[in-house]
Amino acid sequence: MSYLFTSESVSEGHPDKVADQISDAILDHFMALDPHAKVACETLVTTGQVMLAGEVKSEAYVELQDITRGVIRSIGYDKSAYCFDADSCGVLSAIHGQSADINRGVERTAPEEQGAGDQGIMFGYACRETPSLMPLTLDLSHALLEELAHIRKEELHLMPYLRPDAKSQVTVEYSNEGKPLRIDTIVISTQHDDFVTPQDSTPEAQAVADEAMQQRIAQDIRHILLPRVFAKYPEEMKEIFAGDIKLLVNPTGKFVIGGPHGDTGLTGRKIIVDTYGGKAAHGGGAFSGKDPSKVDRSAAYAARHIAKNLVAAGVADEVLVQLAYAIGVAEPISIYVATSGTAHVNLTDEEIAQRIHTLFDLRPYIIEQRLKLRAPIYQETASYGHFGRTPRTVTKRFSTGSQGIIEQEVELFTWEKLDYVDRVREAFGL
């Protein structure tokens, strides 16, 4: 029998994602000035207020207020009507030094023996549902909001009422073998201006105005947003998007109050959106604001890199990788693999895990070097998912008080590269 599965995403203007982007922007500035910095930065956003907290070990000085306001402005919170805007919000900092007890477990005389910054379990996943080797439910949820943000920022004449906060949710019907069959339901909730004026001050008139706004937004989502997003997928997937898709737009009827004014945001509160949309396990550790000595982040990237290269190489159609670490210990204490019966090699999952151990050096320092994680690459990860993204090289600019404007060329999303496919095929005899 078939079954339904659902994933969600949130936009860059969602309060939790605002917090993630501020944390990662601060991390990027430290990485740009001091690649060896140890950073754990948390952010809280609410009506007219930002609170920064965390621990840092670095000789660099960064302008926390300027960075925070720059992120908020770039997202689109630049009007007092939002009750949270870049120029008027308060920014409070409670960032302090890193614990020496933690640092002693990380730094070593021989860099390659660097210990894990904490204990924990991390997961990586890949499957053949989409070209990015990500679950379709999450891939499509992200794509809808990325395009909505593009329209809001670059083609506002199409949907001139859009505000930054938005959420999406996609339900897909799968066959008993786990193959996507069709899109069942799409939910879009997007913040908007109060762009229809009621005829008078009665509740009835307001209800009529609210319904008119909802109908306009729903029509635009159906006729502008959905066709643009569906067109980005390969021709062989077009059948999945055919048929009668249930579309729910702003189901409460109105979404004017949003962003940090409507809901307090915190760093690390969208870890399922950040990873695999619930299609794969999660170890519980958040990513944003953490330098790569924290294996919550770096080992999760390494696990995705492994899973994606195994699927791309043809080892299996679906791969879940779990890594586990102890604080201060360089080697992972366990490697687990599950292929859910989709393997194309005559090996058990345990034997596949053993070969992974010989193919990939999973010590934290080596992960940092292999994936080029000691660089200012993180703000781009803080919205629309850390996985399934396109690797690319960009030049980033950072404004610093002591050195003026500095530029760095960096590689983004290195863990999405398929640079181990040939080695995997050779190791597995494919």
Of 258, 275, 310, which residue constitutes the final position of a domain? Answer: 258
In a domain, 39, yes or no: no
Assess whether 308 and 415 both reside in one domain.
Answer: yes
Assess whether 156 and 249 both reside in one domain.
Answer: yes
Q: Determine the pLDDT at residue 118.
A: 75
Distance of alpha carbon 73 from its chain centroid, rounded? Answer: 20
In a domain, 393, yes or no: yes
Q: Which residue has the tokens 């915190």?
A: 266
In a domain, 195, yes or no: yes
Tokens read off for 28: 């990027």
Assess whether 147 and 249 both reside in one domain.
Answer: yes
Q: Determine the pLDDT at residue 113.
A: 64
Assess whether 190 and 307 both reside in one domain.
Answer: no
* Residue-number span of the structural domain to which 155 is assigned: 3-9+136-258
Where does residue 238 rank: exposed (0-12), middle (13-18), buried (19+ CB within 10 A)? Answer: exposed
Assess whether 331 and 231 both reside in one domain.
Answer: no
Q: Determine the pLDDT at residue 96.
A: 87
Q: Determine the pLDDT at residue 312.
A: 98
Overall number of domains in the chain: 2
Assess whether 228 and 329 both reside in one domain.
Answer: no
Q: Which residues make up each annotated binding site for Mg(2+)?
A: 16
In a domain, 394, yes or no: yes
CATH classification of the domain holding 141: 3.30.300.10
Q: Which contiguous run of DSSP H or E holds residue 15?
A: helix 15-33
In the DSSP assignment, the letter for residue 114 is P
Q: Which residues make up each annotated binding site for L-methionine?
A: 55, 98, 263, 294
Q: Which residues make up each annotated binding site?
A: 14, 16, 42, 55, 98, 165-167, 254-255, 263, 269-270, 286, 290, 294
Distance CA 402, CA 400 (A): 6
In a domain, 21, yes or no: no
Whether this prediction's pTM lies above 0.85 is answered by: yes
Of 200, 232, 258, which residue constitutes the final position of a domain? Answer: 258
Where does residue 406 rank: exposed (0-12), middle (13-18), buried (19+ CB within 10 A)? Answer: middle
Q: Which residues make up each annotated binding site for ATP?
A: 14, 165-167, 254-255, 263, 269-270, 286, 290
Q: Which residues make up each annotated binding site for K(+)?
A: 42
Of 243, 258, 273, which residue constitutes the final position of a domain? Answer: 258
Q: Determine the pLDDT at residue 135.
A: 97
The pLDDT tens digits along the chain (430 residues) read 899 999 999 999 999 999 999 999 999 999 999 999 999 999 999 999 999 999 999 988 899 999 999 999 999 999 999 999 999 999 999 988 766 555 555 665 566 566 676 789 999 999 999 999 999 999 999 999 999 999 999 999 999 999 999 999 999 999 999 999 999 999 999 999 999 998 999 999 999 999 999 999 999 999 999 999 999 999 999 899 988 999 999 999 999 999 999 999 999 999 999 999 999 999 999 999 999 999 999 999 999 999 999 999 999 999 999 999 998 888 899 999 999 999 999 999 999 999 999 999 999 999 999 999 999 999 999 999 999 999 999 999 998 766 778 899 999 999 999 999 999 999 999 8
Q: Determine the pLDDT at residue 266.
A: 97
In a domain, 91, yes or no: no
In a domain, 54, yes or no: no
Where does residue 252 rank: exposed (0-12), middle (13-18), buried (19+ CB within 10 A)? Answer: exposed
Assess whether 317 and 254 both reside in one domain.
Answer: no
In a domain, 207, yes or no: yes
